[in-house]
Amino acid sequence: MRQNRYSRWDGTQQGFDLGADAVLSEINDELLYHGDVNAALRRLMQQGFRDREGRDVAGLRELLERLREERRETRERYDLGGVYSEIAEALRQVVDEERQALDELSEEARRSGDERRQEVTDEHVANRQAELSLLPDDLAGMVRGLQRYEFTSSEAREHFEELMERLREEVVQSYLDQAAEAVSEMGAEGRERLRQALDRLNQMIEQRERGEELDPSFEQFMVEFGDFFPGDPQSLEELLEQLAERMAATSAMLASMTPGQRSQLQGLMDELLGDMDLSWQVNRLSGNLRSMFPGAPWDRRVGFSGSEGTGLAEASDMFSRLAELDQLEELLSGAPQPGALAEVDLDRVRDLLGSDAAASLGELQRLARRLEEAGLVEQKEGRLELTPKGLRKIGQRALRELFARLAKDRFGGHEIVPAGAGHERADSTKPYEFGDPFNLHIERTVRNAIAREAEGRLEPADGGARAGVSFPVRLHPDDFEIERTEHLTQVSTVLLLDLSLSMPMRDNFLAAKKVAMALHSLISSQYPRDYLGIVGFSEIAREIKPSQLPEVSWDFVYGTNMQHALLLARRLLARQHGTKQIVMITDGEPTAHLMEDGEVFFNYPPVRATVDATLAEVLRCTREGIRLNTFALDATGHLQDFVERITQLNGGRAFFTTPETLGDYVLVDFMEHRRSARRTA
């Protein structure tokens, strides 16, 4: 058995999320309007919603805007030239520090008064100054020259060595990300191990390309060299994908610099990698990864307009981040339904856009799953469709929404005064009231009489109970209890739903479809013996099964063929019994009809032939005892005149209403008509 545990709320527990019924409620109007669960969920994903605690769940539209703003702020903040400038400035400071030391050495020799010392010192200083002056202007050449240069200043030499160590780590990090940390901790030994790791990795790639068995295996490789790759890859493919993303980011960084900056920085990086005996292996790996992942952002240029500089490793990190933002944008932009968001790494989204964005995406991921787990939708051929349970939920919601607007005294719970065509016990009783059918429930009536008599006769003065006392039972009108019954009067209704293009154009379609859903829910749940048929009509008419109703949308054609709709309604009602009625909801005059050869004739404005064909069908309904109630939405003068002619011919009623009040009229009229049917049954 399922067990639940309860504890006092302390503010740390996760609150109530959006349940399946709430999700269905959020997409209700969209689902009814377009008739597509997938489209409704996509719209909800796009616009977002509020959870049960009133917190805003950002939609994809808002998340994409945040993502683009993050990328825009990055590009407007940094200057890629800062990578080159920072290194060049650090090298100039080393040279300036050495020159200053040489000047101080020459000055000290002059102050000593020793001519020989001054002569030797001046010669030494002149040679060193000449070497510094002859240093190449490019970064790689300057580094190469300073590595061969014999420093006079121990501080300058120390600073240069620290700079070189930092640059080596940044170069390794720019290509291999976190591997630089392991290299820095192990020094020369770590660099040799990294070279061996890259060599083995390249061999494994080339073995796989040739279709050979990997030697060593991926598992063996990670046991020996896993400390260089802390991204916890679970396969060779995953490891190579991580490395490709990083190397592509560095490639994009270099491509985004000016040609001069790119040339100098690339030369410096090659020089430093060559100094570590890693250059050939890194270039080999880069070539292999380019072939394996051609879709990665290799050499993609990105423009920057800011002024803030950044280091080499930080610049690579920034480009990796921009690449991840691009990937996330592509994934979010192309997500057709919530299930497609399952691929999103919420932890990475949290790093890129913050905790609230990750929480919102988590809610969006769970939308469809909640509906499926609740049995409201199911997957069919890769698409979500409403289940019968979901269909009932939609209808019940439409019914509640419309009933909520009705005054309580304008409808009843299917109650009548006279008896209907028959009755059925409802397995419950009630005290008799004047006017009720006298279907006496003997057992409960006698029990009521005994209880009343006992209350007056069996209460001793000492408050105890007397046993073995008998007395006659006398019935009183207050004792009477009758059986509740359900009368079996049947009403057969066909709803004619206008699906012409004017309905959505005038914002009438959603209200009309809600009425159809509400009537279906009302009849199937409260009056299961009643019949409800549905006919949709535009250029032609067609029967709509209740299971198809949520998916019904308007037709992208012109034409309002009432004549064909009335014809189908008559045929549906011909197979039914009891009182028969047609409820037609429309916002236009008849502009189409079926000709004798079965072809459709259309003309706007309406012509005499179409009007006559429609009125002839109204007369046939009248002769067959079918009542026709017409609900005209936003009626023009011409439509009002036509509806009044229908009413005169049929004896039904006409309602000129708006989308806001349509449901009130239709439901009240249906229930009033049913009461009338019972009174005449």
Q: Percent of the chain having pLDDT more than 90?
A: 14
Say if strands 56-57 and 49-50 run parallel, antiparallel, or are unpaired. antiparallel
What confidence score (pLDDT) does residue 570 get?
94
What confidence score (pLDDT) does residue 594 get?
94
What confidence score (pLDDT) does residue 208 get?
87
| Per-residue pLDDT reduced to its tens digit, 23-66 | 777 777 777 766 677 777 788 888 887 766 667 888 888 888 98
Burial 601-618 (b: 16+ CB within 10 A, else e): bbeeebeeebbebbbebb
| Per-residue pLDDT reduced to its tens digit, 501-542 | 888 888 888 888 888 888 888 887 777 778 889 999 999 999
What confidence score (pLDDT) does residue 253 get?
87
* Cβ neighbours, 10 Å, residue 477: 8
Question: What's the mean pLDDT in 576-580?
Answer: 84
**Of 302, 181, 330, 175, whose CA–CA distance to 248 is shortest?**
175
Secondary structure of 199-222 as H, E, C letters: HHHHHHHHHHHCCCCCCCCHHHHH
Question: What's the mean pLDDT in 473-478?
Answer: 84
Q: Whole-model pTM? A: 0.58
What confidence score (pLDDT) does residue 413 get?
40
Instruction: Give the highest mean pLDDT range of 298-302, 311-315, 490-494, 532-536.
Output: 532-536
| Per-residue pLDDT reduced to its tens digit, 433-443 | 765 667 788 88
Please give the Cα distance from 341 to 338 (Å, whole number).
5
* DSSP letter (8 states) at residue 36: -
**Of 515, 524, 74, 151, whose CA–CA distance to 319 is shortest?**
74
pLDDT bracket for residue 602 (50, 70, 90): very high
Secondary structure (3-state) at 228 = helix
Task: Of 50-59, 622-631, 652-661, give the lowest mean pLDDT range.
Answer: 50-59
Average pLDDT, the chain: 80
Task: Of 6-10, 34-38, 493-497, 674-678, give the lowest mean pLDDT range.
Answer: 6-10
* Cβ neighbours, 10 Å, residue 467: 6
Residue partners of 291: CB distance under 8 A and separation at least 6: none
Secondary structure (3-state) at 428 = strand
Question: What's the mean pLDDT in 85-112?
Answer: 89
Architecture of domain 491-680: 3-Layer(aba) Sandwich (3.40)
Instruction: Give the highest mean pLDDT range of 108-112, 526-530, 656-660.
Output: 108-112
Question: What's the mean pLDDT in 574-588?
Answer: 88
What confidence score (pLDDT) does residue 427 get?
61
Helix ranges, 299-373 (H): 312-333, 346-353, 355-365, 367-373
Contacts 24+ apart (CB under 8 A), 619-623: 619/649, 620/566, 620/570, 621/566, 621/569, 621/570, 621/582, 621/650, 622/649, 622/650, 622/651
Q: Has residue 409 got a pLDDT over 60?
A: no
What confidence score (pLDDT) does residue 14 get?
43
What confidence score (pLDDT) does residue 565 get?
96
User: Judging by beta carbons within 10 Å of its beta carbon (0-12, 13-18, 19+), is residue 662 exposed, middle or buried?
Assistant: buried
Q: Has residue 606 got a pLDDT over 60?
A: yes
At 585, the amino acid letter reads I
What confidence score (pLDDT) does residue 541 get?
95
What confidence score (pLDDT) does residue 419 get?
36
What confidence score (pLDDT) does residue 561 get?
95
What confidence score (pLDDT) does residue 418 get?
38
Q: Has residue 680 got a pLDDT over 60?
A: no
Q: Has residue 415 got a pLDDT over 50?
A: no
Question: What's the mean pLDDT in 358-375?
Answer: 81
Please give the Cα distance from 422 to 578 (Å, whole number).
13
Please give the Cα distance from 503 to 516 (Å, whole number).
14
In degrees, to the nearest 5, what angle opens at C-alpha 293 toward C-alphas 289 and 296? 110
| Per-residue pLDDT reduced to its tens digit, 315-349 | 888 888 888 888 888 888 877 777 677 778 888 88
| Per-residue pLDDT reduced to its tens digit, 445-472 | 888 888 888 776 655 545 454 555 666 7
All structural domains of the chain with their residue ranges: 20-77+326-386, 148-303, 423-487, 491-680
What confidence score (pLDDT) does residue 78 get?
86
Task: Of 504-513, 569-578, 587-596, give the lowest mean pLDDT range.
Answer: 504-513
- Residue 660: what are its φ and ψ, rounded to 5°? -70, -30
Q: Does 44 or 650 have the greater pLDDT score?
A: 650
DSSP string, 634-654: S--HHHHHHHHHHHHHH---E
Q: Is the bond into 605 cis (omega within 30 degrees of 0)?
A: yes
pLDDT bracket for residue 414 (50, 70, 90): very low
Q: How far is CA 625 from CA 556, 573, 581, 655, in A?
A: 34, 10, 8, 20
Question: What's the mean pLDDT in 132-159?
Answer: 89
Please give the Cα distance from 386 to 470 (Å, whole number).
64
| Per-residue pLDDT reduced to its tens digit, 190-212 | 778 888 888 899 999 888 888 88
What confidence score (pLDDT) does residue 80 get?
79
Chain centroid to CA 103: 70
Radius of gyration of the chain (CA): 43
What confidence score (pLDDT) does residue 178 get?
64
